[in-house]
Structure 1
């Protein structure tokens, strides 16, 4: 639902003292500011596999950056996805301001990016849209998704050093998004 906000309940937040002491697979991905952001495309995954990908990278919050939170795969429709994630201890918020379908208004996009940075400072966060592969498979790769071509440069400008892209096979990669051609 556009405009509706959902912030993770207290059980998904770590008090300041606890966050530094927790142990997880994501510790190696933490930068100096304490915030890394993951990206993922739901593609054609069934929900169980999608959940494995999130848990495998220690993700506790999903920022849905699709313009419209709908999919031909029913388990990735906004309200259904929110319910499934919540049942599995993962927070959810739809941020249509960050969608790539139409050119977002600059003020709306700036608000959405600020919201992403705010959430990621509290909990391990992933940006989700539908594109499984962040880069095209051309000889010279280009941004295959607005997470790479539109959002990543804006997020890096906010001081987030590490953006980690979760691939469909469960591996992750990092690259300089500013060096990748993009249509956004």
Structure 2
């Protein structure tokens, strides 16, 4: 099977219920502008996965599994704290939009959320295994889009019905639990 198809399938499945899919939903509910959010997710994913693919073989051999595990734990716990920040930003949303805009905010937050995420790690491993940079990066990017575009479209459609503070609180708890599980399962 081609690296493109394997990469698309693996990442699309790994992304279901992932923190970046939840972030897509939160961004859609907050900004209610699906097109710049989708374009931001695409740009961020392409950038992130290109970097992951470029260093895939090197990272696979240079970083021990224990260090990688702690990086994942730090990522989950950081996201648990970060996801609570939008409560404060909701009060000053217009300043945030003027500063970075919806597209820029999406690119930055999605890129940071993807750091150390399982789909980024999958991209590293797939690039190391297949030695097909273009096929793997294109496949993992498509997989991310297949999983996140529906979340953006549904989040935008139901934004008026979503209690934003409750979504943020639930997301923070989920990220904290994932961080603790990563420590425990070590």
Structure-2-length-normalised TM-score? 0.31
Larger RCO: Structure 1 or Structure 2 (Cα < 8 Å, ≥ 6 residues apart)? 2
Q: Which structure carries more helix by proportion? A: 2
Name the larger-Rg structure: 2
Q: Which structure carries more strand by proportion? A: 1
Structure-1-length-normalised TM-score? 0.31
